[in-house]
């Protein structure tokens, strides 16, 4: 990105993730990194840093350069980082000409951020507002101004009201971005504690974030890591402890049945399309910290990469999907079926002998799909799916999909009966009824499926198992059990579990 002799090549080409890498180039993040090294005493880097900044002066000093910077993907993310870079650069040089050039880049960036037409109410908008607060503290407040502060405060409060529901869950459809938003709001509150910027942060923002803290505690795995649900890598959260109890966040399309050992999540619906995958009805199942049934994660943000497309599509989720749109990404699904709607109908509830949750999606006059999950003591589970096709679909095929964790190996014991062995446990998958079975692993021909990512840029081969049914009205009933050995046949299933499986 940054040449020691020629400065920044703003239009360089990358082997992968062109959009994301271009954003980082225009953000001047590399100059922040080098600037920090200079602060730490590495003065030999100063000529490289100055050449990089001079190429930035040229780029942002031209109308063409500004237009390009303002229209790249994630331009707001780049602008937020660039404004921070300008503030830091001003502390590293006493040259008045150099400082004036940095100020010009900063002012162009500042005015673009303050323009209401460029603001987006999501985590990128939050990042730009935090940059405005830092500008206020460093530049505006010493001169007696408050315009930038007022814009930032208003946007931050409005965004928090919108982003977090009444129960504290974020609207960005993934535990990872719930955590990311909280990390950003932490920056706001730290600034407030240090600089006393505005009373609204204590009076209105703090209670919202306290509810969001509780929601995150429910959504974390027991070891305080983030589960790979949606655009989430598995990373540890140190600031907040896991709450080992079930959580109902159905307003935002997420629910989890959880105790000291079990973690069973369901995602369906949501309040926005931000980071939303084609994942309605998707389940994940973890036990003693081991992923048994997974959501495939995120991998990369490059939608030209076939593995990313697979992981973001229904191929990357353990749900119930119809053939016409199976394998599509979310935005293609919505284009194909404009009337598509989904929701988490009821979050975790029970009477002590069992705990249940349910969800559904539909397209008016075409399709309705319903899923219910019931959890029993002693690690028995019943998943009941129904699909009803009413017309105007090419295929009457539906798939109940199970993606197994990276250390889980399946073995077929009979029709619909699979023993899936992990390091310490055996997950039995017992399908009841008439359907075809389609196992697969790490496919990268014709279609990409059977892949899992728990870290950015890293993918693992996994086993997948689809139960495939055909007909205008179908029922899929599957019993799961976690134990030291596989369940040999239906006769070993407790009567009360079979009753729910067969009668509902």
Q: Digits of tens for pLDDT over the chain (504 positions)?
A: 666 557 899 988 888 788 888 999 999 999 999 999 999 999 999 999 999 999 999 999 999 999 999 999 999 999 999 999 999 999 999 999 999 999 999 999 999 999 999 999 999 999 999 999 999 999 999 999 999 999 999 999 999 999 999 999 999 999 999 999 999 999 999 999 999 999 999 999 999 999 999 999 999 999 999 999 999 999 999 888 999 999 999 999 999 999 999 999 999 999 999 999 999 999 999 999 999 999 999 888 888 899 999 999 999 999 999 999 999 999 999 999 999 999 999 999 998 889 999 999 999 999 999 999 999 999 999 999 999 999 889 999 999 999 999 999 999 999 999 999 999 999 999 999 989 999 999 999 889 999 999 998 999 999 999 999 999 999 999 999 999 999 988 899 999 999 999 986
Q: Dig out the tokens for 350 from the structure.
A: 């029970």
Cα separation, 193 vs 412, in Å, equals: 59
Res 5: pLDDT: 58
How far from each other are the two terminal CA atoms of the chain, in whole angstroms?
59
- Nearest-angstrom CA–CA distance, 326 and 348: 28
Q: What is the pLDDT of residue 253?
A: 98
Distance from C-alpha of 243 to C-alpha of 446, rounded to nearest angstrom: 43
Q: How far apart are the C-alpha atoms of 274 and 289, rounded to whole Å?
A: 28
R_g of the chain computed on alpha carbons: 25
DSSP 138-182: IIIGGGT--HHHHHHHHHHHHHHHHHB-TTS-BSSSSHHHHHHHH
**How many whole angstroms separate alpha carbon 114 and alpha carbon 185?**
19
């Amino acid at each position: 990105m940054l040449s020691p002799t020629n400065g920044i090549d703003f239009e360089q080409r990358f082997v992968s993730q062109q959009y994301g890498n271009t954003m980082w180039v225009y953000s001047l993040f590399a100059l922040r990194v080098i600037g920090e090294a200079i602060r730490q005493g590495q003065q030999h880097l100063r000529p490289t840093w100055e050449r990089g900044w001079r190429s930035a002066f040229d780029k942002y000093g031209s109308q063409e350069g500004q237009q390009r910077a303002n229209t790249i993907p994630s331009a707001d993310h780049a602008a937020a980082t660039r404004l921070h870079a300008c503030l830091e650069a001003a502390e590293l040089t006493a040259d008045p000409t150099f400082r004036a050039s940095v100020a010009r880049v900063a002012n162009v960036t500042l005015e673009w951020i303050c323009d209401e037409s460029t603001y987006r109410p999501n985590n990128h908008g939050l990042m730009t507002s935090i940059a405005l607060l830092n500008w206020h503290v460093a530049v505006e407040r010493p001169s007696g101004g408050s315009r930038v502060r007022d814009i930032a405060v208003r946007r931050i409060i409005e965004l928090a009201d919108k982003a977090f529901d009444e129960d504290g869950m974020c609207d960005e459809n993934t535990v990872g971005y719930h955590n990311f938003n909280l990390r950003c709001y932490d920056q706001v509150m730290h600034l407030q504690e240090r600089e006393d910027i505005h009373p609204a942060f204590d009076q209105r923002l703090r209670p919202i974030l306290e509810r969001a803290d509780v929601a995150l505690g429910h959504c974390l795995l027991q070891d305080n890591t983030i589960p790979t649900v949606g655009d989430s890598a598995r990373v540890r959260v140190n600031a907040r402890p896991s709450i080992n109890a079930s959580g109902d966040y159905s307003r935002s399309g997420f629910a989890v049945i959880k105790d000291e050992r079990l973690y069973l999540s369901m995602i369906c619906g949501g309040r926005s399309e931000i980071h939303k995958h084609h994942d309605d009805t998707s389940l994940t199942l973890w036990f003693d910290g081991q992923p048994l049934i997974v959501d495939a994660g995120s991998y990369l943000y490059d939608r030209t990469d076939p593995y990313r497309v697979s992981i973001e599509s229904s191929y990357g989720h353990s749900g119930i999907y119809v053939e016409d749109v199976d394998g599509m990404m979310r935005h293609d699904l919505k284009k194909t079926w404009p009337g598509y709607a989904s929701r988490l109908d009821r979050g975790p509830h029970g009477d002590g002998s069992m705990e249940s949750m349910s969800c559904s999606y539909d397209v008016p006059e075409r399709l309705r799909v319903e899923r219910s999950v019931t959890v029993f003591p002693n690690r028995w589970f019943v998943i009941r799916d129904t699909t009803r096709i009413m017309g105007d679909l090419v295929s009457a095929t539906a798939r109940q999909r199970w993606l197994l964790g990276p250390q889980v190996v399946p073995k077929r014991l009979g029709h619909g009966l699979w023993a899936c062995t992990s390091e310490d446990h055996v997950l039995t998958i017992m399908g009841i009824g008439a359907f075809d079975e389609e196992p697969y692993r790490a496919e990268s021909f014709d279609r990409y499926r059977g892949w899992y990512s728990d870290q950015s840029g890293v993918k693992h081969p996994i086993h997948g198992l689809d139960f495939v049914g055909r007909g205008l009205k179908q029922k899929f009933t599957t019993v799961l059990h976690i134990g030291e050995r596989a369940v040999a046949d239906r006769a070993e299933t407790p009567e009360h579990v079979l009753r729910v499986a067969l009668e509902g």
